[in-house]
């Protein structure tokens, strides 16, 4: 198995862990949630534009196709992505 190094505390974290044992940073794997939100907006805009331009169900078909193809592409591109997120408390 692969180990990752936390960028916050330099602790070695085993692959598959959800929390860093050194600084309690959350570990996320795969594509970020923001990518899916952007994909949803792009698919809705493109589908709405084509649907209103053609006055048919083409918009819904394009919306679904862009959403599915984009999701598959997101998962393939970000398959090895590991992100450490930590909340810093300052007072």
Q: What is the pLDDT of residues 21-73, one digit of tens each?
A: 888 899 999 888 888 899 999 999 988 888 888 877 888 888 999 999 999 99
Residue 26 contacts residue 18 (beta carbons within 8 Å): yes
Mean pLDDT of the region 66-87: 90
pLDDT of residue 91: 62
pLDDT of residue 54: 81
Per residue in 3-17, pLDDT (tens digit) is 889 998 999 999 888
pTM value is 0.67
Residue 66 contacts residue 45 (beta carbons within 8 Å): no
How far apart are alpha carbons 20 and 86 in whole angstroms?
A: 10
């Amino acid at each position: 198995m692969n180990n990752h190094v936390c960028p916050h505390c330099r602790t070695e974290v085993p692959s598959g862990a959800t929390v860093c044992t050194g600084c309690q940073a959350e570990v996320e794997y795969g594509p970020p949630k923001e990518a899916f939100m952007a994909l949803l907006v792009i698919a809705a805009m493109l589908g709405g534009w084509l649907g209103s331009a053609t006055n048919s169900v083409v918009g819904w078909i394009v919306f679904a196709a862009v959403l599915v193809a984009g999701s598959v592409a997101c998962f393939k591109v970000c398959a090895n992505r590991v992100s450490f997120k930590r909340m810093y408390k300052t007072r």
